[in-house]
Every structure is written in C-alpha cells, then in structure tokens.
Amino acid sequence: DIQMTQSPSTLSASVGDRVTITCRASQSISSWLAWYQQKPGKAPKLLIYKASSLESGVPSRFSGSGSGTEFTLTINSLQPDDFATYYCQQYNSWFTFGQGTKLEIK
C-alpha cells in the first residue's frame, strides 16, 4: 500500500497569511493526488485534483503543486472560512489519505 504523510500535523496562522502544507507519498504516484478540506461534522470537500487542477467553485487562493512523491497545497491570503483540516489523497493505486493537517487561528 502507498503511505501518505502530511506535514505539519497542526499549523497556526492568521487571517491574510500564506500557508503551505506538504504531502509525501511512499512511492511515486505521478500526479494522481487530490486535496480535501474538512470542517467538523461535515463531509470532505474536494479542492484540488491531479495535483494542481482547481475544482470548480473553489477560490483561486488555493493552489496545488508537485509530482512523483512530493506535493504541496498553498493557501494565499487566508480567510476565516479556511480554518479547517486538510487531507491529501493518492489515487494512483486505489486510494489512501494523509493523516490530515489542522489549520488553526493563531
């Protein structure tokens, strides 16, 4: 199975900040990576697919990059609605998720 590891596990930031979350795969997954946002008690919401493609309706302050084994999610100019938990997911070989990164208000 392909293992996915995110860093950091928790991130404290302020409104207006730029933040970056990293996701590493245990083997190459090409660009078959998605990013999701999840708020407490809610279903995950797709933000990015195929490493860098923005899902329809997602604000352009979200962006993704990377290929192979290392990927990043960047959020520019954090908004109050962005404080949530973020998960990466590989879908090169079935599906596995990272452990999540909780983005907290500083």
Partner 1 sequence: QVQLVQSGAEVKKPGASVKVSCKASGYIFTSYAMHWVRQAPGQRLEWMGRINGGNGDTKYSQRFQGRITITRDTSASTAYMELNSLRSEDTAVYHCARTAPGAYYGMDVWGQGTTVTVSS
Summarize as ranges the residues that interact with partner 1 (CB under 8 A): 1, 34, 36, 42-46, 48-50, 53, 55, 87, 89, 91, 94-100
Question: Measured from the CB atom, is 2 or 13 closer to partner 1?
Answer: 2
Minimum distance from residue 46 beta carbon to partner 1 (Å): 5
Q: What are phi and psi of 81, to 5 degrees?
A: -75, -10
Question: Measured from the CB atom, is 20 or 99 closer to partner 1?
Answer: 99
Question: Measured from the CB atom, is 17 or 97 closer to partner 1?
Answer: 97
Task: Supply angle C-alpha 46, 80, 99, rounded to 5.
Answer: 45
**Quick one: tokens of 101?**
């990164």
Minimum distance from residue 91 beta carbon to partner 1 (Å): 5
DSSP codes of every residue in 65-82 = EEETTEEEEEESS--GGG
Question: Measured from the CB atom, is 10 or 53 closer to partner 1?
Answer: 53
Q: Is the peptide bond before 8 cis (omega within 30 degrees of 0)?
A: yes
